[in-house]
Structure 1
Amino acid sequence: MATPVVGQPLSRVDARRKVTGAATYAAEHRIEGLLYGVIVNGTVARGTVSEVAVDAALGHPGVLHVLTDFGGLRLAHPVDRLAFYGQPIAVVVAETLEAATHGASLVEATYERQDAITDFDDPDLPSQTPEDEPDYSRGDPVGAMGSAQVKVDLNLSIARENHNPIELPSTIARWQGGRLTLWDKTQWVQGAARNVAGALGIAVGDVRVHAEFVGGGFGSGIQTYDHVILAAFAAREVGRPVKVVLTRRQFYYGTGFRPASRHRMALGSSTAGRVGALVYEVRIENARYQTYTDGLTDLPQFLYGVPNTSTAYRVTPIDVHSPCSMRGPGVVSGNFALETAMDQLAHELGVDPVELRLRNEPTRDEVAQIPFSTRKLRECYETGARRFGWSRRKAKPGASTDGDLLIGMGMATASYHNNRRDSSALARISADGTATVFAATGDMGPGTTTSVMQVAADALGLPAESVTFRLGDSTYPTAPLHAAACTMASVGSAVHTTCNALKAEFVRRAVADPDSPLHGADPQDVRARAGHLETSDGRARDSYRDILRRADLPSLEVNGNWGPGDADTRISTYGYGAVFAEVSVDPLLGLVRIRRIFAAYDVGRVISPKLAHSQAIGGMVGGIGMALLEGTVTDHRDGRIVNASLADYLVPVNADVPDLDAAFINTEDPQADPIGVKGLGEITIVGVAPAIGNAVFNATGKRLTNLPIRPEALL
C-alpha cells in the first residue's frame, strides 16, 4: 500500500521560487507601457475639499496626469466629502515612480473643515446595537449573578491594531478594449473582481484578477480598498497600464484595522467552581459611514457551560476609516476578556486554572442547542499541561523567581468556528499522467498550494510530484475568500470531491473498454494507487496514461462542487486549543519577556504537519504582538495616525520570540466535511494574549486588563 501524501511533513512546493526571488508578487509583473500612480491623501478627518491645486505637479518632469474627480466611482465611503484622515483626494500618474511620488508632494489642497471625533472613548458619543449582533440572553443572568457566591467583574481594553505584512498593498491595472486585468495583492480574487466591477460600473465578466503569490495578509487583503479601484480608474482614464503601491504609512490609512475595544466581563460562581452566570458587554470603534462587526461575543456565549449568560455588543461611530477583519477577528478580543476573567476567578477560588475550565465543560452547544461534532478540549488541556510542565507552576503569584526576575505561568483556552463554505474545483489529468487542479482561492502564506495538492494526490492515487494545484486567478472555479480559516475545509473538500469524480470517470471508461485490463471489473473494486487504477487484489491494473492513449484524448477533466449544506444546523463544529505561556518580569524595568509558549490543538485531521506547525508558530507570534507590543496611536486633533511605520508601530522581532511549539490532537471530524479537517489559520492566535497576561499575573500578582501590556503598568 502506497504511503498517503496527506499527513506527510512536506516542504512547500513553491518554497524554492519564493526564496530565490522567482515568485512574482503583484507589484513585480512586467507590463509593457506601465505608468506609476501615487495617491494623494487628505489631511483632515472630516470635511470637504474646496480646491486641489495641481499645476505644480503637472509641471514636474515625467508627470502625465493628476486625477481628482472620483465622482463616477462607487466607493465604500462618500466621494463628495472626507470621512477619515488619509482619504484619497487625487492620483498622480507619471512615467516613473520617483516622478509620481514627487508630483504627489506638489499637490496642494484646501479644505472646509468640520468638527471631527476620532476618540471613541469620548463619553458624549452615542453607541448603537448593530443589526447582525443583537443582544443575547439565556437563563436569568442578573438573578444568578446576584446570588453567586464568588464574583469577578473586570473592565478591559484592547488598543487598535494595524496589519503589517511585509508585502504592501499593490495593484497593476491594464485595460484591453473594455476588459480589465488586475494583478493585485488580494485574499479574494473573485471578490476583488466583483468589487472593482461594481465600483467602475462594468460587468464582472470583464474583470480578471491575478494573485498567485501574496506576501502576507492577516485580513488586510479581504476587502477591495480605494487603491485597487483607483489603479483601475487611472488606467482607464490615461489609456495605459498603471501600478499603484501604497507606502507603509499609507497602509495605515488605506486599509482597515482591528478595532479598539472596551469590555466588561463579569462571572458568578459557586465556591465549588461552577460558573453559573456570565455577563459580557463590549463596545468597538466604527466608521460613521459603514458598520463593521465581528465575532466578539461568540466564545463568551459558547465556550463554557454557563446556564445564565447574556452578551451585549455595541459600536461607536467616529470619523475613521472602517475597521476590518484581522487574524482571529473578534474572537481573539472577546476571548481575551473571557480567559482573563476565568483566570481571576480561578485565583479567587484557589482552583487550578485548568481544573476550573474542566469543571465548566459543556456537554453540547448551549447557544445552538445541538451536539458537538468533535470536542477534544480535555485532551488539549491534558497534552498541553503535560508537555509544558504545568505541574511545576506555583499558584501563589510572585512565588517563582530566577535571580532578580519574577517568573510566571499562565494558560488560556482557544477556540474558533469551523467555517466551511460552498466551493468548486476543476481537476484534469493529462496524457503524460500528471494532474492539475484549479480553484480561485489564494495562498497568503499558510501553504495552500501544497496542502490542497496533498489532498488531490491521495484522491487520484498519484505521487505528490505528479500533481499541481493552481490558484490565484478569478477565472478559475469559484472559491470563498482566503480567510476565516475556511480554505482547507472548503476548497480542500471541493478538490477531494472533484478528484474522486475524475477518478470515477477514468474507472468507468476502463471497465467499459474491452482493451483495458480492468474490463468488466466491478467499479467499486477498483482503487487508485501510484498513478494506476487496479483491482483490490492487485491482479489487474491500468494507468491514466494508457486510458487516455486508447481513447485518443489529450486529457480528461471534471468540474466539481462541495458545500456544507445544512450541517451547521445539526452539529456544532469548532476547533479547540489550550495555550500555555511562561514569562519573566523585571520588577525594576517593568519589562516582560516571553520564555516559552506551548499549545495543543484539536483541529481535526492535519493535512500537512509541517505547515500546520508553521501556522501555529505564526499565530503565537501575532499573539505576542497583541499582548505586549501592538497598538495604533491617533492624534485626535486631526485623526492622524502617529505611529504609522514599522519604526514606531511595534511588532515582534526575533529577539521577542522565544521557544514556541505546538502539538495537534489529530482526530478527524468526518461530520464537518469529507476530509475531516477544521480550520487552523485563525485559532492559533486565539488564547495567546490572555495566556501571556495570566502568566504576568502569576509572576507579579498584578491583574493587567489593558492590551498591550506596557512596562509602566508594572512599575
Structure 2
Amino acid sequence: MASHIGSATSRVDGRAKVTGEAKYAGEFNVPGLVHGYVVESTIPKGRIVRIDTSGALEVDGVIDVLTHRNRPQMADKDDAYKDEVATEKGSPYRPLYDDIVLFSGQPLALVLAEDWETARVAASLVKVEYEKAPHITDLHAERANAYAIDKPEKPRGDAERAFASAALRHEAEYFIPTEHHNPMELFASTAIWDNGQLTVYDKTQGVQNVQQYLCSVFKMKPDAVRVMSPYMGGGFGSGLRPQYQVVLAVLAARALNRPVRVMLSRAQMYALGHRPATIERLALGANSDGTLDAMTHEAIAVTSQFEEFARNDTGWGNLLYKSPNAKFEHKLVKLDVPTSCDMRAPGAATGVYALECAMDELAVALKMDPVQLRLQCYSDRDQGADIPYTSKQLRECYRQGAAAFGWDKRTAEPRSMREGSDLVGWGMASGVWEALQMPATVRIVLTANGHAEVATAASDIGTGTYTIMAQVAADMLGLPIDSINVKLGDSTLPQCPLEGGSWIASSVCNAIANTARAVRGDLLKLAIGMKDSPLAGAGVDDVALIDGKIVSKRDATRAVSIASAMQSGNADRITREEANKVAEDKSHARNVHSAIFAEVKVDEQLGVIRVTRVVNAVAAGRILNPKTAHSQVMGGVVWGIGMALHEETLFDHRFGRVMNANIAEYHVPVHADVHDIKVIFVDEPDEIVNPLGIKGLGEIGIVGVAAAIANAVYHATGKRVRDLPITLDKVVQFN
C-alpha cells in the first residue's frame, strides 16, 4: 500500500463542503429557534443613561429585548472571563454586563424575534441615551503615553553605543495600520438550552476553550455544556477567543428557555478584535562588509483600555541575524477600541515586515545585493537563547527561491528595469515563525471490519486538519484512507488545544502516531495468542500495520490479518486513547523559515501597482500533504499582497468608529490582484523537533511577503514607502 504521508491528497471533507452537507454554526436549525440581533453602541466611550426598548417590543414577532438590566445572571469576577488566550493583564470584556461603554460597536442590547429579519428591523427601533466621555482612538496622537511591557527578548551588549560608532547606520520607523480578519463565514452561535443542559454550535477555533469559558461565565459544570464546531469558514485568529455572540446566545436561550441563534453582520464583526496598529522603529549599525554590529527594534502597538494585548514583534531578528549588540522593546498605547487579537502570524507579520524593509534599506546603503547581505548576517543559532536549531534550511530557501525567480538577472539600481510603460521592481525578504507543539490527545477506535474512527476535539478552520489526520492514521494503521473516519470540533472528544499558532498538525499527528502504536500493541497481543502464531515472540516495535495486516518488519511473510487477530480474541473493536509527547528540551530552537521573492510592475504615470510574480521557498520540516500545504502558503502570500497594498481599517477619530466596516471599502486582494505564485518546499529532515519531523505551515506563508513587495516597490520607483498599505498616492510622485 502506497504511503499517504507526503502525497498530494485531496481534502477528505471537500465533498461535504462543496455540496452543502457540511454545516456551520449558523446553519443548525432546531424547532422553535429564536433569532437575535445586536444593538451596538454608537459612541466609543461613556455610560448608558437609558435604553428605550418599547418601540422594538411593539413589533409583531418580537419576543423580548435583553439589556444589562434584565439579562440572566453572569459571573462577577474577572477570572471567570479568562480563557486560553486571555493571559495578558487586564479585565476581559463582559458582554451586556453593565452600563459602561468601552468602544464603538459594543453590544448594548439583543433583540429576540421569531425570525432574523424581524429582529433586525426591531433593533433599529431601540433608542439609547448616553453620557459621553472623552475618547481617543488615534495611535499617533497618543504615542507619547506609550508604556513599556515586559517581554522575553533580552538585550545583548550595548546597542546604542555600537550603533553610534557603526561604519554605516540605518534608522527608520515603519507603520502597520489596524487590520481586520474578514473571514468568509460570519460569526454565529446557536444555543440550545434543555433542562439544565446546554448545547452550543459556535464558530470557534477551540471548542473546549469555549466550553470552559461558558462554564465559568454561567457557573455550570463541564458535563452540562457541550460545544461543537465541526466546520469553520475561516478564522485566522479571530476565533481563538470566545466572541461575544456566544455569550449573548446562551443568555437568551436561558432567558427564554428556547433555542437561540445570534449571527453577527459583517459590520458588527469589526468590534471583535483586530491586528493592532503598530509603529516599528529599527536601528541597524553595520560594518563595511555588511555584518551587523548593532540591532535595535522597538514596537509601539495598540491595545484596549481594559486589557493588555501584546505579541512578539521585536525578537525575530534574534532568529535570523547575528549581532553582538541588540536591544528590544515593546510598548503599548491604550485606546478606546476593542482589545486587539491574534491575526495570522501575530507579531511576526508586522515585526518581520519592518525588520526586512530595514535590511533592504541597509543593503541599498551598502550597495550590496539583499540576498548577499542576509547571508553575510546569517545566524545558525538563536541569538537570544544562544542555542542551535533543530533544523534550519534558510540558506537553501534563498538559493532555491532565487534560482526559481531568476534573481541573478536583477539590476541593482532603482528604476533600472522596465517593461513598456511599467517600471519593474524585484524585492525579497526572509520569513520566520515558530514550530510549536502543544499537548493533545487522540482516540482511535479500530473495528474488526477494518475501519477506524480517529477523534480529538481539535477544530479544522479550513487548513485541512481532517485530511492530514486521515493520512497519518491510514499509514499508521495500515488501512486505506477511505476506511478512516475523522471526528473533530466537539468538546466531548479527547483534549486538544486551540487551532492556532501552526501547532495543530504536529501536535495531533504525533498523538495519532502514539495512539496507533498502542492499537498495534493490542493487536499484536491478540495475534500472538493465536495458535501457531507467526508473530510469536515479536514486540510492538518489531511489527507494522500494512494493508490490513500485522506484519513482521524482519520477515514480511510472517503476518496476521487484523480481522483474524480480532476474531481469534473475540474483539469486535479496539479503543485506545493516547497523547503526544511535548518536548521539554530547551537545548534547541524550533522554527520554520522562508525566503520570498516578489516582482511588481508600477504604471509610471498612474502609480498603479501590480504584484505580478511571487516565489515563496519554505523550509518547514516534513510536509504531510503537498496539496493542502501549497494552498496554505499560497493563501498566506495572497494575504501578504493585501497587507502590502490593500488592507487598512479606517477610523474617524472624531467619532472613534471604523468607517469602512465592510468588504466593499475594506480592501482585500481579489482575483485580478493575484497573478503567478510559486511555492517551493525545501527538503528539511528534522529528527529533533518531534518524532514525525512536522513543523507548522499556517502562519509562515504571510511572514515577510509584505516586506518583499515593499522592497520591490522601492526598486521599481526609487520611492521608499514605510507606512502600509502602499497605495498609488504614496508613489505617484516618484523621486
Fold match (TM-score > 0.5)? yes
In 1, distance between residues paired with 2:31 and 2:320?
55
In 2, distance between residues paired with 1:316 and 1:123?
7
Contact 1:598 1:660 in 2 (8 A): yes
Is 10-19 or 525-534 further displaced after alignment? Answer: 525-534
Structure 1 residue matching 2:267: 3-state secondary structure: helix
Of 561, 583, 607, the match for 1:565: 583
Per-residue deviation, residues 476-506 of structure 1 (Å, max 9, x unmatched): 1111110100110111111111112211221
Structure 1 residue matching 2:192: 3-state secondary structure: strand
Letter aligned with residue 627 of structure 1: A
Trace 1:668-683 onto structure 2 (pairs within 5 A): 668-683=685-700
Per-residue deviation, residues 2-23 of structure 1 (Å, max 9, x unmatched): 3211011010001111111111
Of 321, 341, 356, the match for 1:304: 321
Aligned length: 711
Letter aligned with residue 73 of structure 1: M
Per-residue deviation, residues 366-388 of structure 1 (Å, max 9, x unmatched): 11121111010000000000011
1:586 equivalenced with 2:603 (yes/no): yes
Aligned to 1:77: 93
Deviation at 1:97, TM superposition (A): 0.7
Structure 2 residue matching 1:298: 3-state secondary structure: coil
Letter aligned with residue 350 of structure 2: S
Contact 1:564 1:672 in 2 (8 A): no
Letter aligned with residue 127 of structure 1: A
Trace 1:170-209 onto structure 2 (pairs within 5 A): 170-209=188-227
1:235 equivalenced with 2:250 (yes/no): no
Trace 1:453-492 onto structure 2 (pairs within 5 A): 453-492=470-509
Contact 1:616 1:684 in 2 (8 A): yes
Provide closer, same or farther for how the CA distance between residues 421 and 5 of structure 1 changes in structure 2, counting only shifts above 3 A: same
Aligned to 1:143: 161
Aligned to 2:518: 501
Contact 2:530 2:568 in 1 (8 A): no
Letter aligned with residue 93 of structure 2: H
Deviation at 1:523, TM superposition (A): 4.4
Aligned to 1:244: 262
Provide closer, same or farther for how the CA distance between residues 189 and 124 of structure 1 changes in structure 2, counting only shifts above 3 A: closer
Trace 1:242-281 onto structure 2 (pairs within 5 A): 242-253=260-271, 255-281=272-298
In 2, distance between residues paired with 1:700 and 1:71?
60
In 2, distance between residues paired with 1:72 and 1:140?
55
In 2, distance between residues paired with 1:317 and 1:43?
20
Structure 2 residue matching 1:138: 3-state secondary structure: coil
The alignment-based identity, stated in percent, is: 39
TM-score, scaled to structure 1: 0.98
In 1, distance between residues paired with 2:544 and 2:118?
62
Letter aligned with residue 129 of structure 2: T
1:665 equivalenced with 2:664 (yes/no): no
In 1, distance between residues paired with 2:303 and 2:604?
37
In 2, distance between residues paired with 1:464 and 1:124?
55
Letter aligned with residue 473 of structure 2: A
Trace 1:526-541 onto structure 2 (pairs within 5 A): 526-536=543-553, 537-541=555-559
Of 130, 136, 140, the match for 1:117: 136
1:51 equivalenced with 2:50 (yes/no): yes
Letter aligned with residue 67 of structure 1: L
In 2, distance between residues paired with 1:524 and 1:399?
62
Aligned to 1:98: 117
Structure 2 residue matching 1:571: 3-state secondary structure: coil
Provide closer, same or farther for how the CA distance between residues 126 and 290 of structure 1 changes in structure 2, counting only shifts above 3 A: same
Trace 1:434-453 onto structure 2 (pairs within 5 A): 434-453=451-470
Deviation at 1:424, TM superposition (A): 0.7
Per-residue deviation, residues 189-239 of structure 1 (Å, max 9, x unmatched): 111111122122222332111111100111111010111111011101110
Aligned to 2:78: none
In 2, distance between residues paired with 1:286 and 1:177?
40
Is 12-21 or 240-249 further displaced after alignment? Answer: 12-21
Deviation at 1:564, TM superposition (A): 1.8
Per-residue deviation, residues 488-537 of structure 1 (Å, max 9, x unmatched): 01111111111122112211221133265434445443221111112232
Letter aligned with residue 454 of structure 1: Q
Structure 2 residue matching 1:617: 3-state secondary structure: helix
In 2, distance between residues paired with 1:38 and 1:582?
46
Contact 2:597 2:708 in 1 (8 A): yes
Aligned to 1:631: 648
Aligned to 2:38: 39
Deviation at 1:139, TM superposition (A): 1.2
Deviation at 1:71, TM superposition (A): 7.9
In 2, distance between residues paired with 1:113 and 1:189?
37
Aligned to 1:354: 371
Contact 1:5 1:458 in 2 (8 A): yes
Per-residue deviation, residues 121-162 of structure 1 (Å, max 9, x unmatched): 11475222224x267310111111011101111111011000
Aligned to 2:85: none
1:212 equivalenced with 2:230 (yes/no): yes
Aligned to 2:29: 30
Structure 1 residue matching 2:617: 3-state secondary structure: strand
Letter aligned with residue 381 of structure 1: Y
Letter aligned with residue 210 of structure 2: A
Contact 2:550 2:561 in 1 (8 A): yes
1:317 equivalenced with 2:334 (yes/no): yes
1:609 equivalenced with 2:626 (yes/no): yes
Contact 1:626 1:707 in 2 (8 A): yes
Deviation at 1:343, TM superposition (A): 0.5
Contact 1:629 1:650 in 2 (8 A): yes
1:424 equivalenced with 2:441 (yes/no): yes
Contact 2:291 2:376 in 1 (8 A): yes
In 2, distance between residues paired with 1:529 and 1:565?
29
Letter aligned with residue 101 of structure 1: R
Aligned to 1:169: 187
Per-residue deviation, residues 577-630 of structure 1 (Å, max 9, x unmatched): 000000001121111100110111100000000001000110001000000000
Structure 2 residue matching 1:619: 3-state secondary structure: helix
In 2, distance between residues paired with 1:426 and 1:516?
28
Per-residue deviation, residues 341-381 of structure 1 (Å, max 9, x unmatched): 00011111111100100011113111112111101000000
Structure 2 residue matching 1:137: 3-state secondary structure: coil
Per-residue deviation, residues 223-275 of structure 1 (Å, max 9, x unmatched): 1011111101110111000001100000101x110000001111000110001
1:645 equivalenced with 2:645 (yes/no): no
Structure 1 residue matching 2:101: 3-state secondary structure: coil
Letter aligned with residue 325 of structure 1: D
Aligned to 1:21: 20
Contact 1:595 1:658 in 2 (8 A): yes
Per-residue deviation, residues 655-710 of structure 1 (Å, max 9, x unmatched): 00011110101222221111101111001000100000000011011111111101
Deviation at 1:411, TM superposition (A): 0.4
Of 102, 107, 112, the match for 1:88: 107
Is 117-126 or 341-350 further displaced after alignment? Answer: 117-126
In 1, distance between residues paired with 2:672 and 2:428?
22
Contact 1:46 1:113 in 2 (8 A): yes
Contact 2:526 2:569 in 1 (8 A): no
Contact 1:301 1:311 in 2 (8 A): no
In 2, distance between residues paired with 1:712 and 1:524?
65
Structure 2 residue matching 1:625: 3-state secondary structure: helix
Deviation at 1:565, TM superposition (A): 3.1
In 2, distance between residues paired with 1:174 and 1:17?
24
